[in-house]
Amino acid sequence: MKTETPILTVIAIFYNGQREAARTLYTLSTAYQKRVSASQYKVIAIDNGSDVPLDEKMVRGMGENFSYQYQKTDAVSPCATLNAAIKEADTPYVMCIIDGAHMLSPGLLFYTLAALRNFEQPFVYTLALQLGEYQQNYLVDMGYNQEEEDKMLETVDWKDNGYQLFTVSNFKTYRDGFFSKLNESNCFAIRRDTLIELGGFDERFVSPGGGYVNLDVFKKIVEREDIDKVMLIGEASFHQFHGGVTTNKSLKDSKILQYREEYRNIRGEEFRMSIFLPHYSGHFPAECADFFPESLLKSYKVIARKLVSNREYDAALLIYREIEKLNKYMPMLYGSMGNIYLKKGDTEKAAEYLERSIKFNPGYSVKPYVNLGRIYAEKKYFERAHKVYKDGLEVDRESAELYFAMAKLAGLEGKTKKAVQIGRQMLPLHKKNPVGSAVAIEISEWFRNKKMYKAAVEVLIGSLLKSKQPRTYVKLGELYECMKKPVKAKEAYRNALKLGFKKPALLKNKLSKL
């Protein structure tokens, strides 16, 4: 292969990870990476203040394009170290690996370099998988550790065929495989100058490992309209178990809630995934062909939701139990089952499954906290309800539905003024992130019963901005009738008819009387 001037600098950060570093660096070498030469890219392995530094000889032995730096620091966040390395890089593009425990697939550099050449403002990224059948936060409770991982890696010939890493990873838990919606990547490449212009890795993220900084950087990049987002198909990074602060702790011991709080303090809002449509580039290795059971899960979920909408709750629970057999750690599995039991009126079972949902994935969604708190509130277990809602606020402080649940709790406690106060606090949150139709109608009725008509209207209109549902328009029409605004009531009823309200005769009768 002809000699070229390097265009890419790979920056990999390590901390107390000699075992993991040896594998990661090997997967960055030309002995492993396919169809690339050492002249096309550089690798800088940076030891960010490890107690026992990496062996520099080992690092440089990976190839002539490898270099090593030891950064003496007491900082537990790698942001400053990463930013310094990005500024010092002398290539037009940089690849950032914030957690050096990530091994790579063998075509990742070839397909990255190709994408960098094919787009004017490229941001090339891929899946961040984990070694082990499920997410390591779950596996650690089942005895998964470095020794178990070493044994597992010995069962595949990953050095000669790195695509076999897919077969010992949690790839199957990604519902849409390479087409999944992502909120971060642990191996991405971008123009060096563009990353610097965006502010790099915000050094206000001082938590261990940088907290949510990798998600923050990803969000900043994908929200730039002039940047070409390129998702690599057939390639991935694979996180090794190393006792890290986020992925290798049991969820009950994880610092995720701390990271959410830090993000809120820095950005002034909850972290929310950015939705965007990327370009796709790459290939489809044979080793991935049999690893899409999530497509079956997706079909099951569609069926289950349809059954719930038809009020066939027992049949829906049977489907969810089949899903549990395929992937018992699927986010919201137990939350969905808890909601069904709630609809059935079985609050004991509902509480059991909602508690399980929170235990397995405390930071995934605020919804289980809302529903569990409501169960406790209705049973007059007020102390428990307050505790659940307080924990829910740690997950999402901008959830209008959670604030509504807190307002109802205050009302049940006889604290009417406090209930109204919390209800008012909820309105700007709903305006920012509107709730769905069913919840909006419930909230609107609550305000209507308190003769707070303006607030009731505001809630319904906010929900209609999110999704135009005929039933919401009907409730809006009834509210306008109550407020003696017949013109607006007629308009709302007509909109409901246009959207195909199931009882048109009822609305036509209402319209004839107005």
Token readout for 351 is 């509480």
Instruction: Please tell me the predicted confidence (pLDDT) of residue 122.
Output: 97
Query: If we measure between CA atoms, which residue out of 427, 484, 483, 429 comes closest to residue 459?
Result: 427
3-state secondary structure of 188: strand
Q: Is 89 left (phi over 0), alpha (psi -120 to 50) or beta?
A: beta
Residue 274's CB is within 10 A of a number of other CB atoms, namely 14
Residue 171 structure tokens = 């790839």
Based on its alpha-carbon atoms, the radius of gyration of the chain, rounded to whole angstroms, reads 26
Whole-number pLDDT of residue 351: 96
pLDDT of residue 1: 43
Residue 169 pairs with which residues in a beta bridge? 131
- pLDDT confidence of residue 399: 93
Beta bridge partners of 114: none
Alpha helices (H) along 467-501: 470-482, 486-498
Q: How far is CA 490 from the centre of its chain?
A: 42
Distance CA 201, CA 214 (A): 8
Pairing of strands 66-71, 41-48: parallel
CA separation for the pair 24, 239 (Å, rounded): 9
DSSP letter, residue 124? E
How high is the pLDDT of residue 324?
A: 82
Helices (H), 223-255: none
Q: Which one, of 338, 334, 375, lies nearest residue 357 by Cα? A: 334
Residues in the chain: 514
Phi, psi for 67 (deg, rounded to 5): -135, 165
Nearest residue to 460 via CA among 449, 473, 470:
473
Mean pLDDT per 10-residue segment, the chain (514 residues) = 81 96 98 96 97 96 98 96 98 98 97 94 97 86 90 96 95 82 96 98 97 98 96 95 61 74 94 92 80 61 85 89 76 88 95 90 87 96 96 91 96 95 94 90 94 94 92 94 94 93 89 88
- Of 269, 217, 251, the closest CA to residue 138 belongs to 251
30: helix, strand or coil: coil
Angle at which helices 367-378 and 382-395 pack, to 10 degrees?
A: 170
